[in-house]
């Protein structure tokens, strides 16, 4: 059964990129909170059954929230998954059901299940981020963080990073082109490493200069200010407030469940399936995100 779960997860990952039932807009605070919840639950549980329930929930959400990044994110995850599985199989010899043994290589059924669970965990996180990134532009993230009362200086640092990172990358590409045309040798690994020095120096001094200019701009725009007020704060309607409450309850109950029931054990033998109610719970409650739709007039 456990292998059927993994096969089903791969099929769902593929289907998620192919089908779209609707494209609804969700309140920005809710989608941010949902992401935090999903990441928390993924780190909290290691049971493949519970993780699959969560992945199923994400898959359903994907059908209602457009995410052009879904396919590429999950494709990339599966490539990475290949290495996760490979390293686990070769280096992790725990488990009692030996499938293959050759000198120091000892492949066990339990280590395969464990590595597939790790892959499933990664798929959940990547899938959730694919949905999050497509539905909450980075500029709006600043609004969300301001609303959630994150420290203003940290929010400003994040805003500046988001704004200037693409510019720095563009300049870096340009500096590399210039240095190559001036005769920079990048042949061989040694050449590639040495070639980084002038590019990095150019970028470092350029970034320092930019920092001064940005500092000037911030000063003349009146920042920092004790009078500062945030414009256009995001509001939640009654239903959205309840959804937020459901997320909080999900996090609390999941934590309690984890503390009371203990963790899932892979070694020496994989635990049997015993969390049916919790699986339903982890599938349904995060789905409440879909109730947080915003009207087109908002």
Partner 1 sequence: MIEFNNFSFRYATSQNYALKDVDIRIFKGEFVVVVGPSGSGKTTFLRAINGLVPHYYGGTYKGVVKVWGLPVREKKPNELTKYVSSIFQDPENQLIMGTVERELAFPLENMGLENYEISRRIEEALEVLGISYLCHRKVDEISGGEKQKVAIASAIAMHPDFLILDEPTSQLDPSAAEDILSLLERLNDDLGIGIILVEHRMERTMHRADRLIVFKDGKIIGDGEPRVIASRIDMDSLGIGYPQVARVARYMGIQYLPLTVKEGRRVISNKIARIKRIDRKKRYGSTILEVQNVYFSYGTSPVIKGLSLKMRENEILGIIGRNGAGKTTLAKLITGTLKPAKGRIAIPTGYRVGMVHQNPNVHLFEDTIYEDLIYFARDEKSVKAIMKKLGIWELRNRNSRDLSGGERMLAAIASVAVLQPNILILDEPTRGLCYAYKKRLSNFLREYSSKRGVILISHDMETVARSVDRIALLSEGVIIAEGEREDIMPGALNYTTQLNKLLYSLPGNIDRRILVEEDVEKWD
Stretch that binds partner 1, among 17-25, 53-61, 178-186, 234-242 (CB under 8 A): 178-186
Q: Which of 94, 230, 235, 265 binds partner 1 (CB under 8 A)?
A: 230
Looking up tokens 């300049």 gives: 171
The burial class, CB within 10 Å (0-12 / 13-18 / 19+), for 216 is: exposed
Determine the Cα–Cα distance for residues 65 and 135; give it in Å rounded to an integer: 8
144-163 as b/e, with b when 16 or more CB fall inside 10 Å?
bbbbeeeeeeebeeebeeee
Q: Which is nearer to partner 1, 19 or 197 (CB)?
A: 197
Q: What is the smallest separation between the CB atom of 146 and partner 1, expressed in angstroms?
A: 9
Reference 124, options 161, 166, 178, 70; nearest CA is 70
Q: What is the smallest separation between the CB atom of 79 and partner 1, expressed in angstroms?
A: 24
Q: What is the smallest separation between the CB atom of 229 and partner 1, expressed in angstroms?
A: 5
CB-based contact 83:115 (threshold 8 Å): no
Q: What is the smallest separation between the CB atom of 6 and partner 1, expressed in angstroms?
A: 36
List the x/- string, 187-226, binding to partner 1 by CB under 8 A: -----------xx-xx--xx-xxx--xxxxxxxxxxxxx-
Q: What is the smallest separation between the CB atom of 298 and partner 1, expressed in angstroms?
A: 14
Instruction: Give the binding-site size for partner 1 (rule: CB under 8 A).
Output: 48
Q: Which is nearer to partner 1, 94 or 213 (CB)?
A: 213
Q: What is the smallest separation between the CB atom of 155 and partner 1, expressed in angstroms?
A: 11
What tokens were used for 45? 């549980």
The burial class, CB within 10 Å (0-12 / 13-18 / 19+), for 130 is: buried
Helical ranges in the chain per DSSP H: 2-18, 28-44, 48-64, 70-91, 109-135, 138-147, 152-181, 188-220, 238-261, 276-284
Q: How far apart are the first and last CA of the chain?
A: 46
User: Within positions 116 to 175, which residues make up the interface with partner 1, using CB under 8 A?
Assistant: 137-139, 142, 159-160, 162-163, 166-167, 171, 174-175
Q: Is the dihedral of CA 167, 169, 171, 173 positive or negative?
A: negative
Q: Which is nearer to partner 1, 68 or 268 (CB)?
A: 68
Does the protein bind partner 1 through residue 232 (CB under 8 A)? yes
Q: Which is nearer to partner 1, 123 or 155 (CB)?
A: 155
Q: What is the smallest separation between the CB atom of 65 and partner 1, expressed in angstroms?
A: 21
Determine the Cα–Cα distance for residues 108 and 204; give it in Å rounded to an integer: 49
Q: What residue ranges bind partner 1 (CB under 8 A)?
A: 137-139, 142, 159-160, 162-163, 166-167, 171, 174-175, 177-178, 180-184, 198-199, 201-202, 205-206, 208-210, 213-225, 227-232
């Amino acid at each position: 059964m456990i292998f059927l779960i993994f096969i089903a997860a791969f099929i769902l990952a593929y289907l998620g990129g192919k089908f779209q039932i609707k494209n609804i807009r969700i309140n920005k605070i809710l989608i941010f909170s949902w992401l935090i919840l999903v990441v928390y639950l993924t780190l909290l549980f290691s049971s493949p059954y519970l993780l699959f329930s969560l992945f199923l929930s994400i898959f359903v959400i994907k059908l209602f929230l457009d995410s052009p990044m879904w396919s590429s994110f999950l494709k990339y995850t599966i490539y990475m998954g290949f290495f996760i599985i490979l390293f686990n199989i070769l280096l992790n010899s725990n488990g009692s059901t030996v499938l293959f043994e050759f000198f120091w290589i000892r492949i066990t059924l339990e280590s395969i299940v464990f590595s597939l669970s790790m892959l499933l965990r990664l798929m959940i996180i990547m899938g959730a981020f694919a949905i999050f990134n497509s539905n909450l532009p980075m500029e709006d993230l600043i609004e969300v963080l301001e609303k959630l009362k994150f420290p203003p200086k940290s929010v400003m640092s994040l805003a500046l990073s988001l704004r200037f990172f693409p510019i720095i990358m563009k300049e870096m590409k340009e500096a590399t082109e210039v240095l190559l045309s001036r005769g920079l040798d990048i042949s061989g690994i040694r050449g590639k490493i040495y070639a980084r020095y002038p590019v990095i120096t150019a970028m470092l001094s350029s970034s320092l200069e930019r920092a001064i200019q940005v500092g000037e701009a911030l000063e003349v725009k009146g920042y920092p200010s004790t009078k500062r007020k945030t414009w256009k704060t995001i509001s939640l309607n009654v239903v959205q407030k309840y959804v937020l409450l459901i997320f909080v309850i999900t996090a609390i109950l999941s934590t309690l469940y984890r503390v009371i029931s203990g963790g899932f054990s892979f070694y020496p033998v994989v635990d049997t399936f015993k969390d049916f109610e919790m699986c339903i719970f982890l599938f349904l409650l995060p789905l409440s995100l879909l109730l947080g739709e915003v009207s087109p007039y908002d």
